[in-house]
Structure 1
Amino acid sequence: MPLIDMPLESLKKYEGTNPRPDDFDSYWERALAEMKATDGQLELVKSEFQVPFAECFDLYFTGVRGARIHAKYVRPKHVAEPHPAIVQFHGYSVNAGDWSDKLIYALLGFSVVAMDCRGQGGLSEDTGGVKGTTQKGHIIRGLDDHPDNLLFRHIFLDTAQLAGIVMNLPEVDPDRVGAMGVSQGGGLTLACAALEPRIKRLALMVPFLSDYQRVYEMDLAKDAYEELKLFFRHHDPQHAREKEIFTKLGYIDVQHLAGRIRGETMMGVGLMDTVCPPSTQFAPFNKITAPKTLELYPDYGHEILPGFGDKTVQFMLGL
């Protein structure tokens, strides 16, 4: 098999490169305290899109720093309550997608909530107020400000807050909630399950937002990670701040959150992935101590992995 990264046996032992800040745990405890003190002001608005077997709503809540966050909520009709639910997260820069791609789970008796990430392609707000550059992406947004102002800190908290909101809905069984996503959505699935450890099952594909220094050292800071290279080129061309920058990025590196996950995990990895290289995906997977399954696709890269969607349906039916 061709190699774009480490041999498989090395990947299975890889523990990551990007530094973990010394105050990582207190950082996230402080962040969660801010989230819990935020009045979510939940609002459900019936959508124009409707189907006979489910109700579709635009769901809004207020996240940290006052941003109004939007999600699509599909609730099955004529299903015993409380019933299971799934929280979905989308890829980098886009949005929660069409209503129609949530209907398979509604037909199976699940409520489904798909979040628009703040400041990306959907309806969620970005309240701004950050110092420093925002060029080309959200990973570096807030990197020249206090670590508490990193944008992905807020997005990670949005995922956990939304999961908690779903668990509190009267029609949902809080002990039967799963999370899923691809690429950025995969990284957010890990963050959600780490910050809301009641998530029972998580299915993710080719996760993003992990092991930033490894990406850079592999000269793969392009495509989705292009902002890392541009940040150094424009703001630290001689890398005088390299250790500081990667350490600060460590606060929003999902590999460092993965040890908090308690839900059963299924992860799909393409071993030819040059966008999110396999080592950066193995780094969080190897830190998960909960039951876990790895689905490998030797000839696939950063793309939809065939059959993984069907495996996910079967996996979530176990909720």
Structure 2
Amino acid sequence: MPCIDMPLEQLKTYTGRSPKPADFDTYWSQALEELRAVDPQLELVPADFQVPFAECYHMYFTGVRGARLHAKYVRPKQAVGPHPALLQFHGYTMHAGDWQDKLVYAALGMSVSSLDVRGQGGRSEDTGGVKGNTHHGHIIRGVDSDDPHDLLFRHIFLDTAQLASIVMSFSEVDAARVGATGWSQGGALTMACAALEPRIKLAAPVYPFLSDYRRVWEMDLCKDAYEELRTYFRRFDPQHVREDAFFTRLGYIDIQHLSPRIEAELLIGVGLMDTVCPPSTQFAAINKLRAPYKLELYPDFAHEGLPGLHDKIIQFMSKL
């Protein structure tokens, strides 16, 4: 089998290279405490796009640090009583997407909410306010701040948990039957959401991003979505004087360290020729899971469409 990373048998036992900060659990307890103090000031605005069997809304709510966030929300018209819901998370720099991919789930009797990640391609707000680089990428946003709680992806991870909590609070939704899914960055946010909101029942992350940053660096794959890691060293630490501190700080927003908190059942898609989110970085998070999971492996596929996987995710989420 072609190999751009470790052989599969090694991948199944690999546990990561990037360090976990000593106060990781305290960090996220404090972050969730900050989130609980936020008044979301929820607003639902009917969308111009509508279909006969579902209602489509623009959802606005306030997240941590005062950012006004946007998500699309679709709910079926004919559902009787509280019904399941699905959360969708998009790829890096993208947005919540068109309405059409939410309608499959609405037709199955599920509500769907798709988040616009703050500061990326959609309507959500990025309130900024950090020291250091704000030009190249979100992973390193806030890494040089005096306070590690200023990391942008810390806020984004909290946004996913807040979206889950809001959707679970709706009278039409059964809070015990909520799932989450996404590809790449969306896969990472799916895992972060399930880790920070333990009521998530099912999770289907596909080639998750934001894992094992030091491994990415050591593989010389700081390009594409991870290019900002190289940018940081070239611009701000050219002799790697602060390398250990840098990777330790990023450990707060490394999904491999959050994955043991996940209680949801998982379906995980992995392309073994992926040079954007290398397989070993994905397995660093997978191998720390304590929850039950099933792997869908694609030996000849990279960071691209994985044939049949969308259908398998629909069938998986139908268990809700």
Distance in 1 (alpha carbons) for counterparts of 2:260 and 2:207: 18
Residue correspondence of structure 1 range 156-171 to structure 2 within 5 A: 156-171=157-172
Residue correspondence of structure 1 range 189-268 to structure 2 within 5 A: 189-268=190-269
Instruction: Determine the structure 2 residue equivalent to 1:117.
Output: 117
Instruction: Determine the structure 1 residue equivalent to 2:274.
Output: 273
Deviation digits for residues 241-296 of structure 1 (CA, Å, limit 9, x no counterpart): 00000000000000000000000001000000000000001111111111100110
| Cα drift, residue 135 of structure 1 | 2.5
Q: Secondary structure at the match of 1:59?
A: strand
Distance in 2 (alpha carbons) for counterparts of 1:7 and 1:87: 33
Q: 5+ unaligned residues in a row in structure 2: which ranges?
A: none
Instruction: Determine the structure 1 residue equivalent to 2:106.
Output: 106
Are 1:294 and 2:274 an aligned pair?
Answer: no
Instruction: Determine the structure 2 residue equivalent to 1:72.
Output: 72
Distance in 1 (alpha carbons) for counterparts of 2:243 and 2:134: 18
Q: 5+ unaligned residues in a row in structure 1: which ranges?
A: none
Q: Secondary structure at the match of 2:100?
A: helix
Q: Secondary structure at the match of 1:175?
A: strand
Q: How many residues were matched structurally? A: 319
Instruction: Determine the structure 1 residue equivalent to 2:144.
Output: 144
Deviation digits for residues 19-38 of structure 1 (CA, Å, limit 9, x no counterpart): 00000000000000000000
* TM-score, scaled relative to structure 2: 0.99
Query: What do you get for the CA RMSD once the two structures are aligned?
Result: 0.5
Distance in 1 (alpha carbons) for counterparts of 2:296 and 2:78: 35
| Cα drift, residue 81 of structure 1 | 1.7
Q: Secondary structure at the match of 1:287?
A: coil
Instruction: Determine the structure 2 residue equivalent to 1:6.
Output: 6
| Cα drift, residue 134 of structure 1 | 1.5
| Cα drift, residue 101 of structure 1 | 1.1
Report percent identity of matched pairs: 69
Distance in 2 (alpha carbons) for counterparts of 1:209 and 1:179: 17
* TM-score, scaled relative to structure 1: 0.99
1:274–1:302 Cα contact (<8 Å) kept: yes
Q: Secondary structure at the match of 1:293?
A: strand
Distance in 2 (alpha carbons) for counterparts of 1:2 and 1:44: 49
Instruction: Determine the structure 1 residue equivalent to 2:51.
Output: 51
